Amino acid sequence: MSVSEPGQNLEDIGESESGENPQDTESKQNDSQPQPAGEPGLGQNQQKNRESESGENPQDTESKQNDSQPQPAGLKNKEGVKSSSQQCEQHEHKGSLTEMERFYKEKLQEARFALKQKEEELKSFKDRVAADLSLSIKTGDTESMNNPVSKTKLTEMYNKLKLLQWPKIKDHLKSNAVSREFTRDLTQKMFKDAAEEMERKKKQIDEVFGLIENSSGLTPQKVKEFRQLTIHSLQMNLYHSRKEDLLQSPFLDDGAQYSQDVMENFRLLASECYWLGCLMALNNPPLQPDWENHVPGMDAWDIFPRNIKSV
């Protein structure tokens, strides 16, 4: 037999007398110990039961507690410095853009002002040149293709009369046994009468400008230019007139007897020749068909000269 130590026998006797299991006694001691502040008065088993009933994971609870804890002061300072630095950079960038925008706006304004000045100078130059050129065109020193009564245009109108209009009239007159000589004389007479009438008009204009020259003090060159400008205005007025209205007086001898149809063709021919003769006579210098050098071709009715000449 082994001999028990005195203390051990006493403990066994105490446990036996109390009737409690040593493990139960330890559990009670644990329950009687103070609990953490978050769960006062709860034993370990009860706390686990409550966590199970709440459905929360202890790790999640710990994570939430960590998130709710205040951040260290050093980390906050670093974040604040970083944010302040970004704001400064943004402010500097914005200021740089504003300064650049102001610079280019000023340059654009200067360019617009310079362009406006150039446009005004160009317009002034064009106006001066246009006035001088317009006067030189109308006085015959320069020819413009836009001028409907220029020498080129008058030549085109003469060729149209000779090559397009006259053949139609000629065929009709020939079919009615009209004399070729009578028709030729009538054509020349219309150009001659037109030139004489326009010469009288120009003399009247000269008389007026002669009085102006003596009383106004204008230079002879300016008087000449204004005189020719007046003649050009008369020429343009005739150009826009009805050809039939210009031929007011009888153009045939009273003894001539022709049918109504023939008379209409004569009037058409006479009005075309008289109208064109007026325009040619007012040109500077005056123009007329070259009757002296006209050589008829194979057709005896070829009564219009090939060319026109300056008088």
Residue 302: other Cβ atoms inside 10 A: 18
Residue 237: other Cβ atoms inside 10 A: 10
Give me the chain's average pLDDT, please. Answer: 75
Q: Is the pLDDT of residue 215 over 50?
A: yes
84 confidence band (pLDDT: 50, 70, 90): low
244 confidence band (pLDDT: 50, 70, 90): confident
**Which pair of structure tokens corresponds to residue 182?**
């009578």
As a whole number, mean pLDDT of residues 86-94 equals: 69
SS3 283: coil
Top mean pLDDT of 44-58, 103-117, 195-209 is at: 195-209
As a whole number, mean pLDDT of residues 188-202 equals: 96
Give per-residue pLDDT as tens, 35-78: 444 444 444 444 444 544 444 454 544 544 554 555 555 545 55
Please check whether residue 224 is in contact with residue 290, taking contact to mean a CB–CB distance below 8 angstroms: no
Q: Is the dihedral of CA 115, 118, 123, 129 positive or negative?
A: negative
Give per-residue pLDDT as tens, 142-191: 667 789 999 999 999 999 999 999 999 999 999 998 999 999 999 999 99
pLDDT at 97: 75
As a whole number, mean pLDDT of residues 214-234 equals: 84
> What share of the chain in percent tops pLDDT 70?
60
Q: Is the pLDDT of residue 10 over 70?
A: no
Domain residue extents for the chain: 93-138, 151-310
Q: Is the pLDDT of residue 130 over 80?
A: no
14 confidence band (pLDDT: 50, 70, 90): very low
Top mean pLDDT of 1-15, 135-149, 222-236, 247-261 is at: 222-236
DSSP 191-216: HHHHHHHHHHHHHHHHHHHHHHHHHH
**What is the distance between the alpha carbons of residues 227 and 135, in angstroms, rounded to a whole number?**
11
C-alpha count within 13 angstroms, C-beta hemisphere, residue 180:
9
Report which residue type is found at 231: I
Q: What letters, b where the CB count within 10 A reaches 16 and e where it falls short, cover 84-104?
A: eeeeeeeeeeeeeeeeeeeee
**What is the distance between the alpha carbons of residues 134 and 129, in angstroms, rounded to a whole number?**
8
* CA 228 from centre of chain: 39
As a whole number, mean pLDDT of residues 210-231 equals: 81
Give per-residue pLDDT as tens, 269-307: 999 999 999 999 999 999 999 999 998 888 889 999 999
Q: Which residue has the tokens 């650049």?
A: 100
pLDDT at 240: 94
**What is the distance between the alpha carbons of residues 1 and 114, in angstroms, rounded to a whole number?**
129
Looking at per-residue confidence, does 66 or 196 come out higher?
A: 196
